[in-house]
Structure 1
Amino acid sequence: MEEQRIFEWAGLNPLCLLQRLGRDFLLILAAGLIAAMAALIGIQNLYQPQYTASATLAVSVKSSSYSSVISNLNMSSEIADTFTQLFESNMFGAIAANQLGVSSLPGTLTASVLPDTNLLVLQVTADDPEDAFRTLKIMLENYDTVSEHVFQNIVLRELDSPSVPQSPSNPVNESKILKMAFLAGAAVMVGILLLVAVGSDTVQTTSGLRRKVDAHLFATIHHEEKNKTLRTKLKRANKGLLVTMPVASFHFTEEIYKLGTKVAYAASEGRRKVFLVTSVAENEGKSTVAANIAISLAERKKKVLLIDGDLHKPAQYKLFGHTPKQELSRIIQGEAPVAAEYLASWDLYAMFGTQEDCDAAGLLDGDGMEKVLDWARKEMDYIIIDAAPAGLFAEVEQLTDLADATLLVVRQDGVSARHINDTVDRLNQGKAKLLGCIFNDVRSLPFSNDHYSYGYEGYGYGYGKGYGYGTDSRSTERQAEDTNGRS
């Protein structure tokens, strides 16, 4: 049980958690603001300002000189303590209430002795500053009358006259409370989001993919910024990320070329030509992966055809910046001859579309696509089909019956493993062999197993026979070319 728990924690990626918090920043901000507003409402409705009027009296004995009182400080302090009890009794309260014309005293009476002195501090605290001041004044005007009946030898001398208090004696630091409430509310929301993220069933690491997904890990592609400067980010200069672009990093190009090598291996092993690239949902990077696979194969001096089979949302013409002369949908319907356009900049052949077709399933239900692929098998060495998300559209199953192999693109921390496995089951029902998953857009911490782990998944690992761990990229490419030559 303990090993299983450790393994589950190993499937979490801190960067994915931070990325989720970044995506939900507005939600965190809203939670903090709501908490601050609740605190403000609480302050306005629950806070009751209190005002305290105070006076300082010196306690001495009538028959003693000032010096003797100082020398006999302990006795004076005892007298002050006794007077404090008297002051806090109901006697003073009844006198003050009677003179104020109220049934009960509008304030709280307290008395305290300053340490090591014979000084007595009298205080009255009330909701209204005037009530506090008037009550204390009445107490000071009547303490002689009361003290004569209790202490005949005591003199109380007023040292500090009371005044109307100008500010509350129980001030509230509203700014501090609001800040703390905001931080507390934001922290609670962060905790909730982290709990949801930790408990989610998404794939965040390669170990998590192996454990959760019922398919091989075919390759890993790490996150790559397509707009690396602030200027290009603001302008969104690059609509996609192709391996031939100058902004592509060394690690990204290596991963793509090694992915192309593995596809070439898969083609030579099973005499396959048509590869279908799909995903579970949108925005998982399948179109970019399909385009880069096609480019990497074309650079081997092979004739490669890239077909944008996502008739719901064509994207390849945007990635390559190329508007096709003929729409793929017209070719499938037989309204245009079966022909591919040559993209000289990439040494690649293409069949693209630009228009969204709501009846993609009906369009692919006929034999039009089959005729296109029959022509392509005769003319091309490799055919890469960028299909619609298999988890959203049923016509992908029709394409799996026409293709030779399928690759499922799984974006890090995207859809749940349950939906991935449902899609895997659907793809396995087709005639095309599911080669495995391409773990895409992976962010990882340095020194983690997913951080450019040359010789591990995404590089040397393959499916089936003949593939091992730690295969060198150059020797791998040479072996693939030799195998293709023999076939």
Structure 2
Amino acid sequence: MNQEMNRPSQASSMPVDLPYICRHLWKNIFVILMSACIVGIAAFVGLDMYMGSSYTASMNLSVIARDNSETRLNDGSLNTAITRNLNVLNSDMLVEQICKDSQIERLPGAISASQVADTNMITLNATASSAEEALRLLKSALESYPTLTGYFESGYMFRNLTALSADNIQKQDARPLYYAALAALLVLAGGVGLTAFLCMSTDKVYNRQQAAMVLDIPVLNTIHYFRKKKNQKAILISDSATTGDYEEELDRLTTRVESEMNKNDQKVLMVTSIRENEGKSTITVNLALNLSRRGKKVMLIDCDMRRPAVAKIFDAEVEEGTALSDLLAGDSTLKDVMRRDSRYKYLRCVFQNKAIAEPDKLLEDEAFKTLLRKIASRMDYVILDTPPLGIVRDAEIISAATDSVLLVIRQDLAHASEINDAVDVLDETGVTVLGGVLNMAFGDKNSVSRNKRYEKYYYGYGDKNK
């Protein structure tokens, strides 16, 4: 497909969807915060146990000419001498010399030296876990340094400006809480950054603009999250509790679906999804209701014989022997299973009351295709609710007997690669894929109050025999 060929260049210009990133941050904020807290607490316990106060003994030294020549203090060689002495004081050579003179394997602390800015002064520091060790280490450094001056020729020397005294020792209290908080903040920042990176690199469909770039099918419309009212079992356009916004979005979808089907004189429409819990049954029922509102004779059939949902949405009771499976098994006639409701003048329904074993065998039978042809000859539209295409093969079997397919795509759930693979499978059956509808969407000014999920109709599709 041409769209597929252009996808690499489109992906490079993929917009960053901040609302999508924020939704995932909010979704994972508990895990991120808990991880940060656990790391912070563990760091505090460990640091508090092993980190003690430290002591730093200091001495100020000045670099002067050996012959006290004032001219030598002003020439450029002074800066060179200071740099050379600093390098020696901060080198491993001094550490090795101190260990050699003190007959120890490793220093009980650390030695560091730095220049006082714009002067010929150097501050020499010795840090250890006790004041006594710090003072001893500083003394060892001063005694060991002259031995190293023989390795380089210099006309300069050190002069002590301060005495080797306990008065020049400073105590640095341990700060385990500070470092623990820092560790927790790093984990928190890492969690936020990782979440943002995963959001930007995912191929999940998260808005309509991105869907147009990554999918092989057009997105016919977007249906947002809508809050169900109290005691409202399902969101139906025939229900007075359903908001006008939902009806408007569903009406636009119906118009586009009807237009696409009329172009090719198609009557039988299969509505499916890739995964469970994408809200396809709600879309299917409302699509059928909307078409019937327009005066179209519509037959709505629940072809999901694994997790039937249409009867639940209508809150209808299905008597024994009046389900689709009974019709396909030859135990009932179409007249026996076809349901009418005075509230919906042009709508007829065939329900499924319970899950059956191996429904794919009934769907593969020629009787199913014959049934659809018979119904299509009498109705303007036949709308089929089917199991998810990406979980069981029922939908693929059904598609071979239908004219067109509408894919319900739940925002932030379905992957573009899965959808495109499913479209390829449907293309092989010869059915027309009209497009997709982005369902349960957030992301614009109209979705502020849409913060509750639709009813979940599917569980445990893995076992075909349930």
TM range (shorter): 0.5 to 0.7
1:12–1:204 contact (8 Å) kept in structure 2: no
Q: 1:191 to 1:358 in 2, by over 3 A?
A: farther
The AA in structure 1 aligned to 2:292 is A
Match of 1:344 in 2: 342
Structure showing greater radius of gyration is 1
Match of 2:364 in 1: 365
Match of 1:206 in 2: 208
2:221–2:252 contact (8 Å) kept in structure 1: no
Q: Does 1:280 align with 2:274?
A: yes
Match of 1:290 in 2: 284
Q: 1:352 to 1:174 in 2, by over 3 A?
A: farther
Counterparts of 1:446 and 1:200, CA distance in 2: 24
Counterparts of 1:244 and 1:175, CA distance in 2: 60
Match of 2:25 in 1: 21
Counterparts of 1:222 and 1:249, CA distance in 2: 12
1:224–1:248 contact (8 Å) kept in structure 2: no
2:270–2:399 contact (8 Å) kept in structure 1: yes
Match of 1:400 in 2: 399
Counterparts of 1:310 and 1:187, CA distance in 2: 45
Counterparts of 1:6 and 1:304, CA distance in 2: 40
The AA in structure 2 aligned to 1:404 is D
2:54–2:174 contact (8 Å) kept in structure 1: no
Deviation digits for residues 111-168 of structure 1, max 9, x if unmatched?
xxxxxxxxxxxxxx99789x99xxxxxxxxxxxxxxxxxxxxxxxxxxxxx9xxxxx9
Q: What does residue range 72-87 of structure 1 map to in structure 2 within 5 Å?
A: none
Match of 1:225 in 2: 226
The AA in structure 2 aligned to 1:378 is S
Match of 2:428 in 1: 429
Q: 1:254 to 1:42 in 2, by over 3 A?
A: same
Match of 2:456 in 1: none
Counterparts of 2:109 and 2:434, CA distance in 1: 83
Counterparts of 1:177 and 1:15, CA distance in 2: 33
**Unaligned 5+ residue runs, structure 2?**
1-6, 57-107, 111-126, 134-166, 449-466
Match of 2:46 in 1: 42
Deviation digits for residues 284-342 of structure 1, max 9, x if unmatched?
22111111110100111222111111222112122221222322211221122213111
Q: What does residue range 333-482 of structure 1 map to in structure 2 within 5 Å?
A: 333-338=329-334, 339-347=337-345, 348-446=347-445
Deviation digits for residues 13-57 of structure 1, max 9, x if unmatched?
2222222222223321332133213312331333114699xxxxx
How far off is 1:433 after superposition? 1.4
How far off is 1:181 after superposition? 3.1
Counterparts of 1:11 and 1:399, CA distance in 2: 37
Counterparts of 2:414 and 2:26, CA distance in 1: 18
How many percent identity over aligned positions? 27
**Unaligned 5+ residue runs, structure 1?**
53-105, 109-124, 133-161, 163-167, 452-487
Q: What SS is found at the alignment partner of 1:184?
A: helix
Counterparts of 1:175 and 1:346, CA distance in 2: 68
Q: 1:394 to 1:50 in 2, by over 3 A?
A: same
Deviation digits for residues 202-260 of structure 1, max 9, x if unmatched?
2223232222111223x1123122336xxx4xxxx444322233343333211211222
1:267–1:273 contact (8 Å) kept in structure 2: yes
The AA in structure 2 aligned to 1:220 is N
TM-score by length of 2: 0.64
Counterparts of 1:346 and 1:293, CA distance in 2: 13
Q: 2:306 aligns with which of 295, 307, 312?
A: 312
Q: What SS is found at the alignment partner of 2:406?
A: strand
Counterparts of 1:180 and 1:344, CA distance in 2: 67
1:329–1:353 contact (8 Å) kept in structure 2: yes
Match of 1:100 in 2: none
CA RMSD of aligned residues (A): 4.0
Most deviating of 396-405 and 256-265: 256-265
How far off is 1:380 after superposition? 2.3
Q: How many residues align?
A: 348
2:228–2:242 contact (8 Å) kept in structure 1: no
Match of 2:193 in 1: 191
Q: 1:332 aligns with which of 311, 321, 328?
A: 328
How far off is 1:422 after superposition? 0.5
Q: Does 1:322 align with 2:316?
A: yes
Counterparts of 2:240 and 2:267, CA distance in 1: 29
Match of 2:238 in 1: 244
How far off is 1:191 after superposition? 0.9
Most deviating of 400-409 and 265-274: 265-274
Q: What SS is found at the alignment partner of 1:302?
A: coil
TM-score by length of 1: 0.62
How far off is 1:346 after superposition? 3.8
